[in-house]
Structure 1
Amino acid sequence: MDWNSLRRRCDEASRWMAVATAFSLAVSTALCTVTMVLFLAFWIASGGYRAKLARIRAQPIALWSSALLLMLMLGVVYSSATLAQALDTLRSYRELLYIPLLLTVFNEEQWQRRGYCAFLVAMGLTLILSYCKLFGWPPLGPPKEAYTVFKGRIAHGLLMAYAIYLWAEHFMQQGRWRWLWGILAALGLVNLLLMIGGRTGYFVFFALIVLFMYRHWRWQGLLASGLVVVGLALAASYTSDIFRARMGAMVNDLKWPEAKVITSGRVRLEFYSNTLGLIMRHPVLGGGTGSFIPEYAELAKEKALYPTDNPHNEFLLITTQVGLLGLVLLLMLGYRQWRMSYGLRPEYVAAAQGLIVTMAVGSLFNSLLLDFTEGHFYALLTGICYGSFKSK
């Protein structure tokens, strides 16, 4: 076997590992880690760096994600955190590096389709097993979260909300498998709103309903989406103890934020308020990568606050570390993705726009780029949706 043949095989292997990661993402953190490491190894071994660099340079998304990553790397230099803390935080943003690499392997339609289908198959499997747990099998998932399977309620809810949106989009396309997409969307809706207690998933799903109806019926759909969201929320409140308890707790937290009872909602409001105070100390460049941990720990000790290693809001976390400049880079990344979505293959426009809405809404309540599953989800779906984008 000559060198060129070996490199071609490594290139194909890297693409298959990217597809395998799209499947394992929703199924297993350990398996996802293994497939991602193999992807990186085969990507490096396949060579052809000049051609790969040309693909990356032609992708505005790759440039903006690289700019944000470089800003975080620079933040290590002036961080108030220890070097170990700063580097550990920087490692958590490795998905920003994965984005340019994944864009180079999902640059052909057949690989886009394989990656996209792998993700949907994994979500279909997750949905089926979640319903199986109604009958006591399989014994998977966190023990306190009855119907989750592979992930906790936050990740399960977010991924399921996005999957329902995709299945609904396929249902609208009038294909021969329309009946299957309709069943999956309906079962997913029941699973998310009646069986899973993840409020992030609820809000992401409601936002995706607005996007879905606007995409298909424009302003009439946008106006009607409010009624649909309210109707679904009321129906879920009357039929699901889980939904009623989770949303009721949130309403109580907003009504009486000064109550002494510690709840996740009140703690998050406290995180947001105190993080804004940290941002005001160094608004332009932030306190450096990883700085949130020691600075909030010091503040918590001084004021006897509830401790945390992140504010559960990606926008606040980025701003407190790399300032308003970092926030602008993050927002520009999302903005460029939205603008570019109109130039994608028709079958990926809805998926790309849904991805942006999912990450934007989810990041209001969680530090999604920092989280393993959600961060990899963003990198992989960005690669899949935008891989074949051609700059005009």
Structure 2
Amino acid sequence: MTNTDKPTFLTLHVASGWRQRLPQQIVSFLPLTLFFQIGVMYTGIILFLLSWLISGQWQLKWQRLRHSPLFLPVVCLSTLSVVISLIHPHSEHEFTSAFLHYQSYWILLPMLTIGNGAWQRMAIRNFFIGAVIAASFFYLNSFGLLPDGRFFRGYTVYEGGKSILFALLLAIAPAWMLHEWRVFRDWHFVRAFTFIFVLSALFLFARSRTASLLFLILFLVLTGVWASASQRFRRWYFTSLVFILLIFSMSLIYVVQMPTPVSCHPKEMLDKYGMSGAQILKSRSICTVHQVRDFMKDGQVSEDGMRLEIYRNTWSMVKLSPWIGHGIGNWLPMYRVKAEGMMSEQMITPHNDYLLYWFELGIGGVLCLLTIWLTQLKVGLSMLKHGFKVHAVALLMLTVAMMFSASLNAIMRDGVYTFAMLILLAIPLASLNLELSWREKNKTND
């Protein structure tokens, strides 16, 4: 080999730099994959993990991971799941998948080791592009222009989990858009159009009560952050909040007295009665209020309101073993026995992460889950305090979205929800390394 054939320091450095940047580049495109079939997202995650393995810099990665506030809570949850799995018998068909669900946060941890950078802006931009594409699919479907193929299922047909995920993402995206608009104050026409375009798709076509309510909650969180920075705006905010609560209470009283809609099932509303997305959302909202009213009065539930029955049955089983739970993967077989002959007998999830964790892992499971989410809130508030406004507020809103959604859907039990939320979490949490460096530098200067 001649001297010209030998690898030089420059070529080795370029090759090494390419490998180190690859995980960031792949993660920046993952938010776009959330709006398509689940296999696209899983493929992206696998590509990221492979690129992460070949990117090197293991000492730096370990240092970033070790200093992450989420590392210890995630380890505690995994340790608890191992201990509980040793205490209780295993379900023949459910244990393995259920056990892996409790390890989901380990997918996030490698993403926290790749560092902050321009990829975060690209990731947010791709998330917004994905939201616009998803909204376009809903609009096209409303005009009968979207093909009824497998690629578009979830937009053309209400598919439960996947359709709910699309709706949740369409609730988070406009909240993030509004925040970025206020921070950067540029491209006003483009930002206004995309915000209205995506938000309208959520309320008119997504047909999700949870997602519609989620956006309103995120809007209150966002305006609450704005209010905290201004004494004048703070008074206006709390006055408006009281007014909103008053209007909401009066609306509930009015809805309780309204006649029951012709149907409470979204598929029947669409296929049999030809309702629009907005009409379906309105009817399902009325149905929800009526279902809660009837359940509190005499315990009656309808097919669309089975969650109330699931919550009641699951809670009654939780009380039988509140400290150490009933074991990982045991909710489904035990619930089938408990709900035999009831309307909710065939349900495969309790639609509530808090109840599921308490049922299977005991009180420690709920505390571990809350510790992780409260840590995310603490990190977000710390970043906000130290001037990392863009990603701090995004993290706060996303954490609130997870905590709220977990009360109505098992987002940590279903990989469709879990990995989508973890991918979005990686974007603001990557700035944590920058904040830690900033704080360390200030300590040194002091």
TM-score (norm 1): 0.88
Distance in 1 (CA, whole Å) between partners of 2:242 and 2:157 is: 28
Aligned-partner Cα distance in 2 for 1:57–1:71: 19
Q: Partner of 1:131 in structure 2?
A: 139
* 2:349 is the alignment partner of 1:310: yes
What is the alpha-carbon distance in structure 1 between the residues aligned to residue 366 and residue 154 of structure 2? Answer: 36
Q: Does 1:201 align with 2:211?
A: yes
Query: Would the aligned equivalents of 2:162 and 2:416 in 1 still touch at CA under 8 Å?
Result: no
Q: Which has the higher contact order (CA 8 A, sep 6+)?
A: 1
Decide which of 41, 48, 52 is 2:57's aligned counterpart. Answer: 48
After superposition, the Cα gap between the structure-2 partners of 1:253 and 1:330, relative to the gap in structure 1 and judged at 3 Å, is: same
With structure 2 as the length reference, what TM-score do the two structures score? 0.78
Choose from 90, 98, 108 the match for 1:99: 108
For residues 310 and 151 of structure 1, the distance between their equivalents in structure 2, rounded to whole angstroms, comes to: 11
Cα separation, 1, equivalents of 2:164 and 2:242? 24
What is residue 129 of structure 2 aligned with on the other side? 121
> 28, 37, 53: which is aligned to 1:28?
37
1:365 is displaced (CA, Å) by: 0.4
Given that 2:291 and 2:302 are in contact with CA atoms closer than 8 Å, whether structure 1 keeps it comes out as no
**Residue in 2 that maps onto 1:262:** 302
1:302-328 deviations in Å (ceiling 9; x for gaps): 878523222100111111111111111
Q: Distance in 2 between matches of 1:282 and 1:259?
A: 24
Q: Report deviation, 1:108.
A: 1.7
Bigger shift: 354-363 or 282-291?
282-291
> Could you say if the C-alpha distance between residues 152 and 303 of structure 1 is closer, same or farther in structure 2, counting changes exceeding 3 Å?
closer
Query: What amino acid sits opposite 2:281 in the alignment?
Result: F
Counterpart residue number, 1:320: 359
Deviation at 1:146, TM superposition (A): 4.9
> Aligned to 1:351, which of 394, 402, 426?
394
Distance 1:329 1:144, change over 3 A: closer
In the other structure, the counterpart of 2:443 is none
Q: Give the counterpart letter for 1:14 in structure 2.
A: P
Look at both structures and tell me which one has the larger radius of gyration over its CA atoms.
2
CA distance 1:6–1:319, change in 2 (3 Å): farther
For 1:98-247, list aligned pairs within 5 A.
98-105=107-114, 107-139=115-147, 146=156, 152-173=162-183, 175-217=185-227, 218-225=234-241, 227=243, 240-247=278-285
Q: Which secondary structure state, in structure 1, belongs to the residue aligned with residue 29 of structure 2?
A: helix
CA contact (8 A) 1:22 1:118 kept: yes
In structure 1, the partner of 2:263 is none
- How big is the shift at 1:149? 11
Matching of residue 17 in structure 1 with residue 26 in structure 2: yes
* Corresponding residue pairs, total: 387
RMSD over aligned Cα atoms:
3.0
Which letter maps to 2:223? M
Q: Within 2, Cα distance between the matches of 1:96 and 1:144?
A: 26
Q: Separation in 1 of the partners of 2:154 and 2:176?
A: 29
Contact 1:299 1:305 in 2 (8 A): no
Residue 341 (structure 1) aligns with = 380
Q: Work out the CA distance in 1 between the residues paired with 2:184 and 2:54.
A: 43
218-227 vs 144-153, greater mean Cα deviation = 144-153
- Gap change, CA 1:67 and 1:11, over 3 Å in 2: farther
The answer (yes or no) to whether the contact 2:327–2:361 under 8 Å persists in 1 is: yes
Q: What is the rounded CA distance, in whole Å, between the counterparts of 1:297 and 1:9 in structure 2?
A: 52
Change (3 A) 1:328 1:21: same
Task: Give the superposition deviation at 1:23.
Answer: 1.5
The 2-side partners of 1:207 and 1:292 are apart by 30
Deviation sequence 1:48-81 (CA, Å, 0-9, x none) = 3222111011110232223223322333223333
Unaligned runs of 5+ in 1: none
Following superposition, the deviation at residue 332 of structure 1 comes to 1.1
Distance 2:164 2:204 in 1: 14
Q: Residue 412 of structure 2 aligns with which residue?
A: 369
Give identity over the alignment, percent.
19
Which structure 2 segments of 5+ residues have no match?
1-6, 228-233, 256-275, 440-446
- Tell me: CA distance 1:145–1:256, structure 2 relative to 1, closer, same or farther (3 Å): farther
SS in 2 for 1:82: coil
